[in-house]
Structure 1
Amino acid sequence: MSELIQVKQTVPTVDEMPNLVYYQTIEGDHAVELTLSMLVPRTVDLKPAVLYLPGGGFTAANHNKYIQMRTALAQAGYVVAAAEYRVVPDKFPKIVTDGKHALSYLYQHADTYHIDTNRIAVIGDSAGGYLAQFLGTTSQTAHFLPTDVTKAQTQVKAVVSMYGFCDLLTIGSGLNEPFHESTTSTEALLVNGPSFMSDTANSITADKPKAQAASPVSYVTAQVPPFLIMHGNADRIVSPAQASEMVTALKAHQADVQQVTIDQAGHGTWEWYQPEIINRVITWLNQKLGRAL
């Protein structure tokens, strides 16, 4: 017996375009090639876009992770780019300039992907949340602007940070986790670099102005885009106080910010992959960017 199923379209067809090179350069005797992957709803209408920046503790940037969030965003009508970026042993600010190059790629290829360049958001988790915050606080400014990127190509209209951090000096605040004070903590290596020929080993707090210059909270102004700051109250790797610190700084400049605390959630734990969290992010983006579908 055959079965007839009638289907009503409720989500768009989504095409995947994996591992596209968004930036190439030569450093010393080696080539640098950075890639991103695209999820593109198959419609000709102009669509909002989201640049996803993965976490990885400054040691990895697996842009193919968090497929639940990226797929849900694409099915909601967003063009979704997920970009890798340089990590330790590469030093700050390469992580930020890489993020700006990824943003620039979306602007340069807006016609190809039918992107509405007035509706581009950034989202990241952990170190990716740190980078998303940086792209938000330095949106359309000269801060860390690559020579081949214009200010207009770094415009961000909304920022979502999930268990990210805003201040390298206080990542471990209240956690009693001594690894953050180590000279080999990844935030210390990001700022100071690894030792070669000379000893650069210092904790992140050894040069406070240097750490502050590498912290997105230092660049908050009244011109920043809307922020959604999400953190779990059971996080033992990045202090939940990071969320409150960034929210306080944003509110001091009368910025549009919303703080969401996930009860009992840790750092990248299962809670972050559930529909309640994913739908909360999409709802907020729809409010700030205009509903995608």
Structure 2
Amino acid sequence: MIYQEYFINTNCPVIGLEQPVLQAYLLNPPIAQGKLRPAVIICPGGGYSRRSVREGEPVAMRFLSQGINAFVLQYSIVPNRFPTALTQLAESIRFIRSHAEEWSIDTNQIFLNGFSAGGHLAACLGTMWNQEWLQKIMGSSPSEYQPNGMILCYPVITTGPFTHQESCEHLMGSQPDETLLQHLSLENQVSSNTPPTFLWHTQQDTSVPVENSLLFSIALRQHKIPFELHIYERGIHGLALADEVTMRTPEQWEPNCQDWIDKAISWLKRQII
């Protein structure tokens, strides 16, 4: 494995000293000449105020074990507001595509994997990648930063009754404009251009209610976007891998949820057949 870190720069200035970093976990070039690998960009959760370590490298290692190059985006958090992190994620895809030959990555197999607020970030790009306002900021063709699929883990989706208020406030401020509030309720942004999506959530999640994934899956269904949804009965919010690798408290070990990563990888591989 090769590990590298890259600073990500966009036309959205970053408030504060911390610069966004893309952590690359790269498999050695394939033995078979011309064989390309898929890639996944992981966006950890943390309510847009921090980034969970538990939802970063441990997840990347699981993707690597299945022949998938993995990247963890340490995106900008508060006091930075929308769309700072979104442009950093878009730039990350563009950056990976520009190095695809060097890293033996298939440019048509770049997926997003977001947890909680990181799921909102991933879903923002998945639903907004072709919007004109983002194209103006990025200054290039949307095809350069278009994702090919999304894996959303207990994602923040809605800004309505089932929202995660902390994430909304950190992203938009305590008194956001109503137009922006509606714009970032992502069940309203799904279109025929949204990529195929894998979602999972738990029924017992009291921080980000399961309705977030339900609302998004309903919107995907309405627009005939292929998706796979898994709702587990048990489990608190923020389980990460739900095993002994990522647990910090006994509640974060949930055997019935531990197969989500295997299901997600199987789903991803079906997208690239």
Instruction: Give the alignment's TM-score, normalised by structure 2.
Output: 0.84
Q: Which residue of 1 aligns with 2:3?
A: 16
1:93 paired to 2:79: no
C-alpha contact 1:165 1:171 (8 A) present in aligned 2 = no
Secondary structure of the equivalent of 1:39? strand
Structure 1 gap segments, 5+ residues each: 1-13, 173-178, 193-200
C-alpha contact 2:25 2:70 (8 A) present in aligned 1 = yes
Q: Which residue of 2 aligns with 1:247?
A: 217
Q: 2:153 aligns with which of 147, 157, 162?
A: 162
How far apart, in 1, do the equivalents of 2:141 and 2:52 lie?
Answer: 27
Q: Which residue of 2 aligns with 1:7?
A: none
How far apart, in 2, do the equivalents of 1:57 and 1:75 lie?
Answer: 28
How far apart, in 1, do the equivalents of 2:87 and 2:67 lie?
Answer: 28
Q: Which moved more, 1:128-137 or 1:145-154?
A: 145-154
C-alpha contact 2:10 2:88 (8 A) present in aligned 1 = no
Tell me which amino acid in the other structure corresponds to 1:187: C
Tell me which amino acid in the other structure corresponds to 2:171: L
Tell me which amino acid in the other structure corresponds to 1:286: K
Q: Which residue of 2 aligns with 1:269?
A: 239
Distance 1:155 1:108, change over 3 A: same
1:151 paired to 2:147: no
C-alpha contact 1:162 1:230 (8 A) present in aligned 2 = yes
Return the offset for 1:107.
Answer: 1.1
C-alpha contact 2:10 2:87 (8 A) present in aligned 1 = no
C-alpha contact 1:170 1:242 (8 A) present in aligned 2 = no
Return the offset for 1:38.
Answer: 1.0
C-alpha contact 2:202 2:231 (8 A) present in aligned 1 = yes
Secondary structure of the equivalent of 1:88? coil
Return the offset for 1:103.
Answer: 1.3
C-alpha contact 2:117 2:156 (8 A) present in aligned 1 = yes
How far apart, in 1, do the equivalents of 2:202 and 2:72 lie?
Answer: 23
Return the offset for 1:286.
Answer: 0.6
Return the offset for 1:125.
Answer: 0.4
C-alpha contact 2:49 2:170 (8 A) present in aligned 1 = no
Q: Which residue of 2 aligns with 1:259?
A: 229
- RMSD of aligned Cα (Å): 2.4
Question: Per-residue CA shift, 1:134-172, capped at 9, x if unaligned?
Answer: 121123443423334431111211111000021122334
How far apart, in 2, do the equivalents of 1:31 and 1:64 lie?
Answer: 24
How far apart, in 1, do the equivalents of 2:71 and 2:56 lie?
Answer: 12
C-alpha contact 1:232 1:263 (8 A) present in aligned 2 = yes
Return the offset for 1:28.
Answer: 8.8
Q: 1:279 aligns with which of 226, 244, 262?
A: 262
Secondary structure of the equivalent of 1:170? coil
1:188 paired to 2:169: yes
C-alpha contact 1:47 1:78 (8 A) present in aligned 2 = yes
Secondary structure of the equivalent of 1:82? strand
C-alpha contact 1:48 1:119 (8 A) present in aligned 2 = yes
Secondary structure of the equivalent of 1:124? strand
Q: 1:35 aligns with which of 16, 21, 25?
A: 21
Return the offset for 1:40.
Answer: 1.0
How far apart, in 2, do the equivalents of 1:164 and 1:89 lie?
Answer: 21
Q: 2:187 aligns with which of 217, 221, 225?
A: 217
1:132 paired to 2:134: no
How far apart, in 2, do the equivalents of 1:217 and 1:143 lie?
Answer: 19
Q: Which residue of 2 aligns with 1:83?
A: 73
Q: 2:105 aligns with which of 115, 139, 146?
A: 115
Return the offset for 1:110.
Answer: 1.1
Q: Percent of counterpart pairs with the same letter? A: 21
Secondary structure of the equivalent of 1:144? helix
C-alpha contact 2:36 2:106 (8 A) present in aligned 1 = yes
Question: Per-residue CA shift, 1:171-220, capped at 9, x if unaligned?
Answer: 34xxxxxx83xxxx34124213xxxxxxxx43x6xx43221112322221
C-alpha contact 2:201 2:213 (8 A) present in aligned 1 = yes
Return the offset for 1:263.
Answer: 2.1
Q: Which moved more, 1:269-278 or 1:111-120?
A: 269-278
How far apart, in 2, do the equivalents of 1:66 and 1:163 lie?
Answer: 15
